[in-house]
Amino acid sequence: MSAAGLEGATHDAAAVSRFRSLLVARHGRLVAESYFGGADSTTLFDVRSVTKSIVCALAGLAVRDGVLPGVTASIAPYLAPTDTLDAVDSTVTVQQLLTMTSGYQWNEDTGPDYSLWIAAGDHVQYLLDRPHATAPGVSFTYNSAAAHTLGVVLQDAAALPLPQYAAPLFAALGVGDTVAWEALDRGTVNGGAGIQLRARDLLKFGQLFLQRGWSGDRSVVPQDWVDEATRPHFAWRRAVGPLSRVTYGMLWWVSDETPAAFFAWGYGGQFVYVVPTRDLVVVVTTDWSGLTDVTPQALAATALGVIVNDVVPAAR
């Protein structure tokens, strides 16, 4: 790593008032760790939609262990008897929740749907009651309620609360009780957002996916699942901050420009950014609360710029 490059990244991060952490691992070793705005190594960061990538890992464990029969399984048998599904709801599969292709009419990018959903009394039924904009499996629409519903499916299939089902994954990463989930209705937690972790633990999670699910000689998450989750699943590409070729995998974002990367991305600039060809993992967290001075999209673009323009070039 270029020491000057890392110093430049730290300087640029410190200049952004809402930056809270910047951590870098190269070749499996922590090479940079900086905190800002009163945060430190013990701070639990609410990393919003990074939660989705963790739920992706849990889905991989469920398929491996036979808790779910496979990604083509319908979600219907795993929802509560009180949930009301129409004929199309019953055809939605685990795969479609993983790839954001469930087909429900939804807009949380520029619309109010996340805020309306999180305020609802029944978060699964709220999604099921949405109109079907397309048939399941046809097109991508980013939908946190769908990711949450996947978490509910996992909880039912495993017959364990989702945090309890996740405990072995976190234990394998050396993460103890320093994890918190956002509680929702009916004994569920938010599978789409709101998990809180220390920055070093986020780095460990990214390192696990960099190592294709392996920790030493132990397979924690199946290698083929990691490969499938972090490959492009769509023909479309869009610009995100300094990146021009971003698409989606399975609850992970994917960039196939050079050097290729995949990343967990949470509201307002929470990132676990993995660059396999550079053997590199970068974690960034920001203070996303009460955003009035900057949009969440602009803050995310700034945070991603520190990663892509400063840290990645420093990994020579």
Instruction: Catalogue all structural domains in the chain, each as residue range(s) with its CATH number.
Output: 1-40+199-215+227-316 (3.40.710.10), 48-194 (3.40.710.10)
Q: How many residues does the chain have?
A: 316
Q: Across the strands, what pairs with 243?
A: 240
Residue 136 near residue 101 (C-beta atoms within 8 A): yes
CA angle 23/289/308 to nearest 5° reads: 35
Amino acid 294: pLDDT: 96
Residue 267 near residue 290 (C-beta atoms within 8 A): no
Amino acid 316: pLDDT: 86
Amino acid 39: pLDDT: 98
Rounded mean pLDDT for each run of 10 residues along the chain, 316 residues in total? 97 98 98 98 98 99 98 98 97 98 97 98 98 98 98 98 98 94 97 98 98 97 98 98 98 97 98 98 98 96 98 96
Amino acid 177: pLDDT: 87
**Coarse DSSP helix, strand, coil percentages of the chain, rounded to the nearest 5 percent:** 40, 20, 40
The per-residue pLDDT for range 220-277, each reduced to its tens digit, is: 999 999 999 999 999 999 999 999 999 999 999 999 999 999 999 999 999 999 999 9
Residue 119 near residue 126 (C-beta atoms within 8 A): no
Alpha-carbon span 265 to 287, nearest angstrom? 14
The per-residue pLDDT for range 171-195, each reduced to its tens digit, is: 999 998 899 999 999 999 999 999 9
